[in-house]
A and B are shown apart, each in its own frame.
Chain A
Amino acid sequence: AQSVAQPEDQVNVAEGNPLTVKCTYSVSGNPYLFWYVQYPNRGLQFLLKYITGDNLVKGSYGFEAEFNKSQTSFHLKKPSALVSDSALYFCAVNGPGGFKTIFGAGTRLFVKA
């Protein structure tokens, strides 16, 4: 069965510092991995995805994520955090032939000025 773990409920960083939001996954076969962001009282917005190829994936708003097959991880990163990055971040995974995307519980990111 597919599963996603986001081990941190909350991440706090200072503006201008690098940020990392962690995600590990379990899936049979090749994983298809996604990051979404949810701003207050809004729906989710797609940030980036890994399907195949280069392990470093670049996405919207300066975010990137690194796929690590041996560690079954897909951590979200940004070199320099902005206060406006404060939001709820979800990691998600799909397996081959699957419609049933599994989402992590979410990590709340607070960026302090």
Chain B
Amino acid sequence: DAGITQSPRHKVTETGTPVTLRCHQTENHRYMYWYRQDPGHGLRLIHYSYGVKDTDKGEVSDGYSVSRSKTEDFLLTLESATSSQTSVYFCAISGSGRAEVDEQYFGPGTRLTVT
């Protein structure tokens, strides 16, 4: 696997609490992504980053925010967790040049359960 770690790997939290997931890479790749995986939906992009402090929304960004203060770290925050945010969250990186033609490398995932 590429040098991507995610923490925590598993988390159970209560509705209404804030949650932060961390993605850390050692590849010095420019682009970073957060996806969620749900049965029947494949992977859906939440937010992405194209550089330090440069981020933008994906297709399912409501209720999520991100920050990237260093090349190696990309944080995903659920501002007030809801049961609909129970999912498996994957971080991915890419980054040799043009994002649209580069393959992505994925982290091991974080399984989040909101009760």
Within 8 A of B (CB), among A60-113: 90, 92, 94-106
What is the number of contacts between chain A and chain B, taking CB atoms within 8 Å?
60
Within 8 A of B (CB), among A32-74: 32, 34, 36, 42-46, 49, 51
Among B41, B44, B103, B107, max chain A CB count under 10 A is at B103
CB of B64 within 8 Å of the partner chain? no
CB of B45 within 8 Å of the partner chain? yes
Q: Which residues of B contact A104 (CB under 8 A)?
A: 42
Q: Which residue of B lies closest to A91 (CB)?
A: B42
Q: Which residues of B contact A95 (CB under 8 A)?
A: 100
**A90 contacts B43, C-beta separation under 8 Å:** yes
**A99 contacts B41, C-beta separation under 8 Å:** no
Which of B1, B101, B108 is in CB contact (< 8 Å) with A32? B101
**B56 contacts A43, C-beta separation under 8 Å:** no
Which of B42, B44, B48, B105 is in CB contact (< 8 Å) with A99? B48
Q: Which residues of B contact A94 (CB under 8 A)?
A: 99-101
**B107 contacts A97, C-beta separation under 8 Å:** no
CB of B106 within 8 Å of the partner chain? yes
Q: Which residue of A lies closest to B40 (CB)?
A: A105
Q: Which residues of A contact B1 (CB under 8 A)?
A: 43
Given known A-B contacts A32-B101, A51-B101, A99-B99, A42 and B108 have beta carbons under 8 A apart:
yes
**B100 contacts A98, C-beta separation under 8 Å:** yes
Given known A-B contacts A43-B108, A43-B109, A97 and B100 have beta carbons under 8 A apart:
yes
**A44 contacts B58, C-beta separation under 8 Å:** no
